[in-house]
Amino acid sequence: MSFFRKKRFFAMLLLIITFTMFVFSDVFSSLLYPIHYKEEIKKHATTYNVDPLLVAAIIRVESNYKPNETSKKGALGLMQLMPETAKWINEFGRLSGSMDKVMDADFNIQMGSWYVNFLLNQYNGDMVMAVAAYNAGQGNVKKWIMNGVWDGTEKNSVQIPYGETRHFVQRVLYYYHKYYKLYGESWYTA
């Protein structure tokens, strides 16, 4: 009888070890954290000199890769662009699409990638401040920094006064780091 108990114990131990290896493997993680629209993201991120994994992380948080998503506040598409922001991007960025294409996945990613590049340039390449501005607007981020409410760092992102923006920044950075760990080498070498 004790022989069967030992055998059952080792079988369970082997099952637990196998399950743990599967759960923490990159294969399992890539199923939990997929990236859709890879070609469009890579194309436009390259065109506008933006980290493609940052664009993917913003899309994941904004729309979870649902191209026809419209928020309660009226933000549109994969990258959840407000109509007035999308219009400004299209005009200021001299993009070749019209506003009726804002829900088109490719054009939405192009507009969002251009805007992320614009924000990164505004904040001297600081990803954290650019992500905060993507959600709350440049004026709010500038005001928070100037008034000493937030220092612009990821470490102190808990100081961001808008809960939505605070959580947005934290989630985008979480997915960015997760994507970098899972896909980094293949996305930067392909």
What residues pair up with 70 in beta bridges, in sequence order?
Answer: 76
d(CA 182, CA 40): 19
185 is catalytic: no
CA 152, chain centre distance (Å): 18
3-state SS assignment for residue 46: helix
Name the DSSP letter for residue 125. Answer: T
Residue identified by tokens 């729309």 is 63
Among 62, 91, 154, 185, the one annotated catalytic: 62
Q: Please compute Rg for the chain using Cα positions.
A: 21
Burial class of 162 by CB neighbour count within 10 A (0 to 12, 13 to 18, 19+): middle
Following CA atoms 97, 37, 133, 46 in sequence, which dihedral angle do they give, to the nearest 10 degrees?
A: -80
Active site residues: 62
